[in-house]
């Protein structure tokens, strides 16, 4: 039986690499003490998130980031726990860095790196992620205890094609890191006003913001339509648009942290559990382009769509 315990970790991510590292180390230990096999952290957890936690990468201390990463790899080895760590990955002098997730095994070895593929922002790169980061070009898969895993970052959730591609690769658990925190209260109020406070009763979101509404709903849909488990950590820096949470393969949220507060949410993933999957019989056919269930009929009244 393939069972894993996942620690979905949130803390107030900042521009302070050493401060971030202390939070990560502390929560790694908490996750291990609570029986987790892997600890999963938000987007930019170690480096901070450019354009939000700090202005940009001019003068960024890459040596300090590498040193802090190496220390955390050593701690993962000492504790015997996997680590999925959000950070920035330096490229050549002429390229913006990647927005990445480092996949570090329980022996402290770096086994893969996922680079955010859909960096938000206009095509000219004048703002958003693209003003600071280079997009990635690959999926990342690995196995922990017989469970096939994949990774995504934040804005990637807007592109369900990525979840379908992971499903084709047999992925059962997606580590989807977010950073929707450190939002000034006035900006949060502005977004809520643009959404429309009169619609609050129709949208049971942690915050009445576009991502606060659409992101959790998208994770529910991605889990249920692809039958994958999803870990969703977020920065808890106030204001955080939602707390970290975990979604079961049938789309049911099975755990949620407290918004604007650090914490470790530990969830047991059992990929052989008997959870509801209404699309099991037809999903692979749909992915292959056969967009119906059953067998189509050959009938004139079926073909004629303009008569009663």
pTM for the model stands at: 0.96
- pLDDT tens profile 250-299: 999 999 999 999 999 999 999 999 999 999 999 999 999 999 999 999 99
Statement: residue 186 has pLDDT above 60: yes
Supply φ then ψ for residue 126, to 5 degrees: -80, -15
pLDDT at position 270: 96
Distance CA 10, CA 85 (A): 12
Can you read off the two tokens belonging to residue 45?
């957890």
Mean pLDDT of 116-137: 96
What pairing do the DSSP bridges indicate for beta strands 3-10 and 38-40? parallel
Closest alpha carbon to 85 in 15, 27, 32, 161:
27
* Inside any domain, residue 71: yes
* Inside any domain, residue 119: yes
pLDDT at position 86: 98
* Inside any domain, residue 304: no
* Inside any domain, residue 27: yes
* Inside any domain, residue 290: no
- pLDDT tens profile 203-249: 989 999 999 999 999 999 999 999 999 999 999 999 999 999 999 99
CATH code for position 19: 3.60.110.10
* Inside any domain, residue 303: no
Name the domain count of the chain.
1
* Inside any domain, residue 287: no
Closest alpha carbon to 169 in 152, 187, 192:
152
Whether residue 82 contacts residue 124, with contact meaning beta carbons closer than 8 Å, is answered with: no
Whether residue 24 contacts residue 46, with contact meaning beta carbons closer than 8 Å, is answered with: yes
pLDDT more than 90, % of the chain: 97
Statement: residue 306 has pLDDT above 90: yes
Indicate the helix (H) or strand (E) that contains 151.
Answer: strand 147-153
**pLDDT level of residue 303 (50, 70, 90 thresholds):** very high
pLDDT at position 71: 98
Distance CA 52, CA 43 (A): 12
- pLDDT tens profile 91-124: 998 999 999 999 999 999 999 999 999 999 999 9
**pLDDT level of residue 1 (50, 70, 90 thresholds):** low
- pLDDT tens profile 157-167: 999 999 999 99
Domain with 93, as residue range(s), is 3-278
User: Which of 17-21, 33-37, 100-104, 206-210 bottoms out in mean pLDDT, i.e. has the lowest?
Assistant: 206-210
* Inside any domain, residue 308: no
Mean pLDDT of 182-192: 93
pLDDT at position 22: 98
pLDDT at position 204: 87
């Amino acid at each position: 039986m393939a069972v894993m315990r996942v620690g979905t970790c949130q803390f107030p991510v900042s521009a302070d690499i050493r401060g971030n590292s202390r939070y990560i180390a502390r929560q790694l230990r908490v996750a291990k003490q609570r029986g987790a096999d892997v600890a999963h952290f938000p987007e930019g957890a170690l480096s901070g998130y450019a354009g939000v936690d700090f202005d940009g990468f001019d003068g960024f201390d890459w040596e300090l980031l590498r040193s802090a990463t190496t220390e955390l790899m050593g701690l993962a080895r000492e504790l015997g726990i996997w680590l999925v760590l959000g950070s920035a990955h330096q490229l050549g002098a002429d390229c913006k860095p990647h927005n990445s997730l480092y996949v570090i095994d329980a022996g402290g070895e770096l086994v893969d790196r996922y680079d955010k593929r859909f960096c938000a922002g206009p095509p000219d790169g004048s703002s958003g992620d693209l003003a600071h980061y280079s997009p990635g070009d690959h999926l990342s898969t690995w196995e922990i205890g017989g469970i096939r895993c994949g990774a995504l970052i934040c804005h990637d959730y807007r592109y369900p094609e990525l979840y379908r591609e992971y499903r084709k690769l047999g992925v059962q658990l997606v580590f989807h890191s977010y950073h929707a925190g450190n939002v000034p209260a006035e900006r949060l109020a502005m977004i809520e006003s643009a959404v429309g406070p009169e619609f609050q009763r129709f949208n049971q979101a942690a915050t009445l913001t576009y991502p606060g509404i659409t992101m959790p709903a998208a994770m529910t849909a991605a889990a249920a339509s692809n039958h994958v488990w999803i870990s969703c950590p977020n920065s808890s820096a106030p204001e955080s648009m939602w707390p970290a949470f975990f979604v079961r393969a049938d789309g049911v949220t099975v755990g949620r942290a407290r918004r604007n507060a650090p914490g470790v949410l530990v969830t047991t993933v059992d990929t052989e559990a008997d959870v509801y999957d209404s699309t099991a019989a037809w999903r692979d056919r749909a992915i292959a382009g056969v967009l119906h269930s059953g067998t189509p009929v050959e009938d004139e009244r079926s073909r004629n769509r303009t008569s009663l």
